[in-house]
Chain A
Amino acid sequence: MKHHTKISVVALLACASLRAQAPTASEDIHAWLMRRAAAILNGRYDQPVILENGRGFANQNESTSSEGGSTSLVDQSSTSDFASLALNLAGLRQSETATAPKSGSVTVTAYSILAAAKGKRLLDPLFYQQNTGWRRVSFTIGTEESKLDEHLTDKPATNLGMKFVFKNDRDVYSGKALTAMNELRATFGSVIVGQASLSDRIQRIVFETLQRPTSADYDKLYAAFIVSKAFANPGWAATWTAFVGADTNGRARDEIETLLSNFSRPLERHTVLLREKVHELQQAPQWAIALSSKQREENGVDEYRAELIFDKGLSTRANWSLNGSFDFRDFQTTRDTRAGRLATEFQFRLYEGSSTGLMPGSVVLSGSGEHKAGNGMKPITRGQAKLVIPIMSGVSVPLAWSYASRADVNVLPGSQLRLSIVIDPVRLALRSQ
């Protein structure tokens, strides 16, 4: 009984192995051989380096952009590449008497203004290449509620800002990215050349096994075989079944397996290099300077900030920002204040959304801290935890909890909850195309 059981298990395993090699009903020979080569490649690693989803080969840990026409290499700048609109909807108050000023702003890059002025599609390849510099500059304009006791006026402030990214190694036209693309062009070329040769060899092995042609009738029979869609979808699955039946000693299948194993080497070189380069580019550092101002009428307090910002990816899911600024508050009637500020933020992408799932974008958790000190003011330290929840493509809701060591302009002491909405009109437009 034991002997029969052992044979049965072996037979079952053999059948399972053969079934794994067989094409699915929706595969043609090209999809099948790429899947088989990927399986051989993944077998050399503890964890799969590429997914075997038919014609798609994606890193399981890769962050993705499901936004139409855009890629996550394009999305990685610290402000939207094109435009965004932020509205602070409501502060969830700790006490009924404590209020937080409402604000709204829109940020656009000089690139998107130029594209709109010239009637160009934002991702038009030539326009994108020729205007790399314009993507480094962005402008913000907005309005913010003023409080009489803090700002010496109750008329709303006009917020103006400009940011210049002077070093952006994440841009697809940075030197780093162009070098990476050249390397990847070479390895990808090897994959495609290899795939063409491999397919040709496998097709001939299968044809010769099934039809045993003579040299005299080879071309005529091979042409008829190809035109019968023997290697296409859906013919390939039936062709393979017939081939397995005809390959009684298994030698033809062994030869195919060897060819697939040889092809998996250039496939591995390219896949590993691709993953490495994508990670490098997505985590590459960015440096920017930003100038902003809040202008108020009459005797209201005008505020100015000059800031240096550093941004770097720590992993495919985590990002770190550090910035330092000089803040100046211009009091029309009393002494001005000057302060230095240092802030840092860690962002972690908790969940990668999809356009068809419940979450049409990434869920991001961030933690930040800030310390500010200056003349005529007590130092203030603040911390914040924020969760950004995507509602739909181009619309997200940040929910933030913050704590401040004391009250300051636009800052309430103690803890606070705040809800806002961020709209990216360009992504909304892309989604509707």
Chain B
Amino acid sequence: MPFTTTPHIPNPGFAQVAVSAGEFLVFVLDAGGPVPNFTQAGSVSGIIMNESRFPGVQARYVWNYLRSSTDQHNFEVIVTGVQFLANADYRLRIAKSDGSGTTLTDVMDIEWTGGSPSEFTSEGFTVVLR
């Protein structure tokens, strides 16, 4: 049976980020276990993040993007994909933070539950820089 998607905060399709003021995006991916498998890629940057870039398997993965100027490409499309191969539940939260790391606004909060091994899914949005 296909997994269930619950948009706690629906995907708006874009994220406006004032990088000139030091704003950046923070991604938090919670995994129900036991073996999470995810990939995030940008239309300019290629692969931005996946679980193998963390020091070991985790229940929560946190990373940021756009903090470095090398990440900043106006209108870049960011896609975060998850595989349910050995992990049935995920929750992806994206927030915009100011330069000090304080959360300014939640961009999206999507939860997937009950995935089966041969399923995968993704969420994408476009970054609009100021």
Contact = CB atoms under 8 A, between A and B. Distances in A.
Interface of A: 28-30, 34, 51, 53, 55-59, 62-74, 121, 123-126, 128-129, 172-173, 177, 181, 184-185, 188-189, 191-193, 195-197, 199-200, 203, 219, 222-223, 226-227, 229-233, 235-236, 270, 274-275, 278, 281-282, 352, 354-355
11 contacts: A56-B119, A66-B114, A67-B88, A73-B86, A74-B86, A124-B33, A128-B57, A192-B40, A229-B13, A231-B14, A233-B11
A189 B41 contact: yes
Given A58-B116, A196-B77, A184 B85 contact: yes
6 closest A-B pairs (Cβ-Cβ)?
Answer: A232-B13, A123-B33, A56-B2, A128-B34, A200-B43, A64-B116
Contacts of A68: 32, 88-89, 113-114
Interface residues of B, number: 59
Contact of B33 (A51, A69, A196): A69
A188 B39 contact: yes
Given A71-B86, A232-B13, A53 B2 contact: yes
Interface SS, A side: helix
Interface stretch (B18-26, B64-72, B95-103, B121-129): B121-129
Given A62-B116, A275-B118, A69 B88 contact: yes
Contacts of A191: 81, 120
A195 B124 contact: yes
Contacts of B33: 69, 121, 123-125, 128
B41 A181 contact: no
Given A129-B57, A172-B86, A233-B11, A181 B35 contact: yes
Contacts of A222: 75
A392 to B, nearest CB: 16
A125 B88 CA distance: 12
B75 A188 contact: no
A71 B41 contact: no
B20 to A, nearest CB: 14
Contacts of A355: 1, 114
Interface of B: 1-3, 5, 10-14, 16, 31-37, 39-43, 46-47, 50, 52, 56-59, 74-81, 83-89, 113-124, 126, 128
A352 B59 CA distance: 29
B116 A30 contact: no
B22 to A, nearest CB: 20
Contacts of A70: 88
B77 A199 contact: yes
B34 A58 contact: no
A121 B126 CA distance: 36
